Structure 1
Amino acid sequence: MEAENPKHKSTKLFALFNPILSFFKPRRRRTRFMDLPRVIMVEILSKLPIESMLSSRKVCKLWYNLFSDPLFLTMYKSRLPPPYILFSRDHDISQLLELEPPCDSSSSRLHNRPILLSCLEFNTPVKRGMDIPVEDYPMLRLIGSCTGFIGLMTNIYDINTSVYISNPLLGEYFKLKLPELEKSVCRVVYGFCFSEVSGKYKLVRSVTRRFEGHREVSELKVYTLGVDEKWRNLGQVPYPVWHDFGQVCVNGALHWMDPVDKDSIYSFDIEIEKLKSVPGPPGLVFPFKYFAQAESQRSTCAPSCLTLVELGNCLCLTDDCGSIYGHIDIWWMKEYG
C-alpha cells in the first residue's frame, strides 16, 4: 500500500478545519452611516429633497441635531436653484423671471416665461408639523426668512398682534413676549433679520404714535433673540415704515422703500443697528413720485409699480408697470452703495 503524501494530508486537514477557523476569524465590520464623519453626514442630508428631510428628521436624535447644524444650512443654501421673481398684475398670465447663474461671472441672463396662475392649487391645505394656531389667525404675514428660520406675524390689521419664530424643517416654534402698547400707538411694524457678522437673529420693531394735530412720531426698537431681555429703543427715526420692513437683506442690511411716494430707499444695518438712506437708480426713483401723482389722477389703478428684491446677493429694483405690455425693467446694483 502506497504511503499517503504528507502534503495531501495537510491539505485535507486544512479543508476539514477551515470552516471552524473561519468562524473564529474576525469579520470585517461594515461602515454604518453613524460612523461617518459629521461633514459627510451633513453633506448627504443636504442633498435630500425637502419631503425626505421632513421625514428623516424623526429617525433619531443625531439626525435631528444634524438638521439644525449651521453647516447643514450652509450646504443646503449653496444647492438652492436659481432665484425667481413672480409678477402678477391681476391677470391669469404672469411673468416668472428666472435668474440664470453667469457662466463667466461677467454677465447674467434672465429668462422670461409666462405661467398660468390658475394651474396652481392655492386651495390645497398645507400639511404642518407645527402647532401654531393658524386657524385662529386667518391672515398671517411673513416678516422675514433667515437661514432656515421664519418670522410670522398674526392680526396684520391690528396693532395687538402676535409674533412667532419657527424652524419649519424641525417643526419647532416659539412665541415672543411683546410689551404692552400705549394708547397713542397707531401703527406697529415688525421685521426679522440675521446678522452674519455676529451670527445673531434680531427683530426690528417700528412703533408710530399719533398726537394732536395728526402729528406722527416713529421710534425704532430692536430685540436680539437669546440675548436681550427686553426691547432696546434706538430713538426716533425720520423714515416711516407703514406696512412692513420687506424681506430684502443685502450687504448685512434690511431694505425697504417709502410706502407712499416710492421715491426713497431705506436700509437698517443689522450689526451696528444704524438707519440710513440708499441712493436709487438715477432718473427713475425720485422723478417717479411726480409720475405717480399724474397717473393716479387719471387712472384707478395703483401707481406703485416699483419693488425691491434681492437677486444673486445684489440689491435690485423692479418696475413692472410694463408687465401688461410684456416687459419688466430691472435695475441691478452691482456695487453696493
Structure 2
Amino acid sequence: MDETTAVKRLVDNSLRSTSSHIPLDTIQETILCRLPVKSLLRFRCICKPWDSLISKDLKFAKKHLRVSPKRQHLVTTTTPSGAEDLTMSVMSCPFDSLNLHSNLHSKSTQLDYSPILSSKYHDGLVASSDGILCFTVNGRAVLYNPCIRKLQELPYIDLPHKKGSTYYAFGFGYDPFIDNYKVVADMYIYETQVRETHSYTLGTASWKRIKDFPSKFSMNGFSKSEHGIFIRGAVNWLTSNSYGYSRNIVSLDLGKESYQEISLPDLPDLPFRDEYKQTLTLDVMRDCLCLFDIYQGKRPDRLDAFTDVWLMKEYGDKESWIKLIRLPSFASYADFMNIVYISEDNHMLLVFRNNSKFKGGVYDSKNDTITIKSSRTQDKLGMVKSKVYLESLISPS
C-alpha cells in the first residue's frame, strides 16, 4: 500500500465512524508532519481543515520543516553571456547526499519561475534558506519556494539620489530573534560613490535602511558579483582593499543588525605568484563557513593550479580554521568549476562549464579520481551557480 492510499484510508475511516474518529491534531502529529511536501499538497483536497492546515498554517509549516526527514534538491541556474537580454534558466533535481554519483544521473526539471529575464551578468541565484530560494534580477530581489510554487517579488529600493551605475550585493537568511526571514542589500553607486545598506523582513511592505557597511571597507569592499553567505544568523561577505586583495570577512548579524570582522586563515605565501591568479570565495559546507582559496594558472598550459578548502569549525573563531583538503587543477575538464557539496568522507559534488557545456562531476579525494557527466549544451554559456535546498512549506509571501 502506497503512502497516499494509506492516508486516504485513515481519513475515510475517521470520517465514517464517530467511535473511530481520530482528531486532526493526532493525525498532524503522527503522520502529516513527516510526509513529503509533494504528498501534502495532494492531500489538500481531502477536506477543508487539511487544506487550511497545509496551505496557510505557518506553525504547521515550521513544525514540518523541523521534524520531517530532510528531503533535498539541487538547484542550478545558468545564464548565457554576450546577449543584450539574458535568459536565466533555473533547473532542479533531487539531491542524495549519501550517494553523490546518483545526482549526476538525476533528471532535472525546469522550475516554474523560469526562464527569468535578466540583463546583468551577475544576476542570478543568491541563497537558499529553509526551502526559499532568493534570486536577484535587475537589482531586485525575488523569493521563490519551488515546492509550493509561491513567489514574491520584493519592491525596488527607493533611492532619491540614485544616479548612475548601481551595484548590489544581497544576502538572505533566517533571523532567530524575530523568527522570520530577511533579505539585506548593500548598494554602491559608482559615479557618486554613495553606499547604503537596507533590509527587508518577510511580511512587511517596504525596505528599511540599517547601519551602513563599515566605512573602511567602502569602495568595492567586496566583489560586485558575490552575494552574502548566510550562517548562524549572520550574512558574510569577503572584503578587499583598493587593490582588490581580500583582507577579511565582514559579518552582518541579522538580529542585531550590527557588523563584526572575521579573520581569514593564514593562507600560504606561494612563490611565482605572478604565474597564478588567486580567487577567494565563501560558502557553507558541512554546516560550517567555508573558504575556497583558488589558484589558477595565468597561462592556459599551466595545469598545476589547485584549490585549498578551509572550514571554520567554530563560527567567528579564527583559531578554528582548518584546511580540509587541497584539490588538484581541473583545467583539463573546464574553464569554470564550482564546489556544490562536500561529504563527510571528502567526496565532492562539482559543476563545470567548458566549451558552452554544463557538466556535473564527483571527485573522490581518497583515490584522486573524478567522474564527469555532461548534462546540457547552451550557446555562450556564462554564469553557472548551484545550491542545495530543502523541501518545505514555508511561504515567501
Cα deviation for residue 186 of structure 1 reads 2.9
Query: How far does the alpha carbon of each residue in 1:218-249 deviate from its partner, in whole angstroms, 9 at most, with x for none?
Result: 32122223346443242353332422333322
On the 8 A contact 1:221/1:232 being kept in 2, the answer is yes
Q: Which of 141, 165, 171 in structure 1 is aligned with 2:124?
A: 141
Cα deviation for residue 115 of structure 1 reads 4.1
Matched, 1:46 2:20: no
Q: RMSD of the TM alignment (CA)?
A: 4.1
| Percent identity between the two aligned chains | 19
Q: What's the secondary structure of 2:31's corresponding residue?
A: helix
Cα deviation for residue 326 of structure 1 reads 9.8
Q: Which has the larger radius of gyration?
A: 1
Which segments of 5 or more consecutive residues in structure 2 lack a partner in the other structure? 1-16, 77-95, 297-302, 318-397
Return the structure number with greater relative CO, CA threshold 8 A, min gap 6.
Answer: 2
Amino acid at match of 1:146: S
Cα deviation for residue 187 of structure 1 reads 0.9
Match of 2:21 in 1: 31
For residues 82 and 280 of structure 1, the distance between their equivalents in structure 2, rounded to whole angstroms, comes to 30
Cα deviation for residue 114 of structure 1 reads 7.2
On the 8 A contact 1:46/1:75 being kept in 2, the answer is yes
For residues 28 and 117 of structure 1, the distance between their equivalents in structure 2, rounded to whole angstroms, comes to 47
On the 8 A contact 1:42/1:66 being kept in 2, the answer is no
For residues 82 and 120 of structure 1, the distance between their equivalents in structure 2, rounded to whole angstroms, comes to 13
Aligned residues: 260
Query: How far does the alpha carbon of each residue in 1:40-87 deviate from its partner, in whole angstroms, 9 at most, with x for none?
Result: 515522322343244334544433443453344344345327999x9x
Query: How far does the alpha carbon of each residue in 1:18-50 deviate from its partner, in whole angstroms, 9 at most, with x for none?
Result: xxxxxxxxx762224xx2316x51552232234
Q: Which of 241, 258, 272 in structure 2 is aligned with 1:274?
A: 258
Query: How far does the alpha carbon of each residue in 1:152-210 deviate from its partner, in whole angstroms, 9 at most, with x for none?
Result: 2224xxxxx33222333332222222135521343122222221111132221111022
On the 8 A contact 2:168/2:188 being kept in 1, the answer is yes
Decide whether aligned partners of structure 1 residues 308 and 229 sit closer, same or farther in structure 2, where only a CA change above 3 A counts. closer
Match of 1:178 in 2: 156
For residues 206 and 148 of structure 1, the distance between their equivalents in structure 2, rounded to whole angstroms, comes to 24
Q: What's the secondary structure of 1:179's corresponding residue?
A: coil
Trace 1:160-239 onto structure 2 (pairs within 5 A): 161-180=139-158, 182-211=162-191, 216-227=193-204, 229-235=206-212, 237-238=214-215, 239=217
Decide whether aligned partners of structure 1 residues 226 and 324 sit closer, same or farther in structure 2, where only a CA change above 3 A counts. farther
Trace 1:83-162 onto structure 2 (pairs within 5 A): 115=101, 119=105, 121=107, 124-128=108-112, 132=113, 134-137=115-118, 141-155=124-138, 161-162=139-140
On the 8 A contact 1:64/1:170 being kept in 2, the answer is no
For residues 129 and 237 of structure 2, the distance between their equivalents in structure 1, rounded to whole angstroms, comes to 17
For residues 36 and 304 of structure 2, the distance between their equivalents in structure 1, rounded to whole angstroms, comes to 36
Amino acid at match of 1:46: C
On the 8 A contact 1:255/1:267 being kept in 2, the answer is yes
Q: What's the secondary structure of 2:21's corresponding residue?
A: coil
Which segments of 5 or more consecutive residues in structure 1 lack a partner in the other structure? 1-26, 87-97, 100-110, 156-160
For residues 60 and 206 of structure 2, the distance between their equivalents in structure 1, rounded to whole angstroms, comes to 28
On the 8 A contact 2:278/2:293 being kept in 1, the answer is no
Larger helix proportion of the pair: 1
Amino acid at match of 1:175: E
